[in-house]
Amino acid sequence: MAAHSPLATTTGLSWSDLAGASSWNPANSVLAIITCTNCDEWIKLVAANRGIGVVPDLARTRVPHPGVAYRDISDAPPSRVSVAWRARPVPPRSVQRFLGVLRPVNRCAEPVRRRR
């Protein structure tokens, strides 16, 4: 949310708190949905108080912006990330190392392979 938003100093936000925000209320059909095509555009819109963005925790450190306040949403569902890669030819060593880092935190013991 924008750093100057009244919610920016609130701790323990919930989805219902966001629904009451003047810049985001799904029940208010007069609000326009703004579509953006990249992260830079998105964060500028949030900083300008044109909307509220919900992002994984990693965004706090990866996409800092002085006009954006990142706050936890207490009842937000966990985010899910999927990774896909080509099995053939054998992936380069850099991809194999990346997959090696992911496997210990992955809930699946083995990758899911789709047959053609």
Q: Mind listing the pLDDT tens digit for each residue in 22-40?
A: 555 555 555 567 788 888 9
Which residue do the tokens 């809930």 mark? 107
- Mean pLDDT within 90-102: 86
- pLDDT value for 2: 93
Strand partners, 16: none
Amino acid at the residue 89: P
- Mean pLDDT within 86-95: 87
- pLDDT value for 12: 84
Contact assessment for residue 53 and residue 3, using Cβ atoms and an 8 Å cutoff: no
Task: Please give the span between the terminal C-alpha atoms of the chain, in angstroms, as a whole number.
Answer: 44
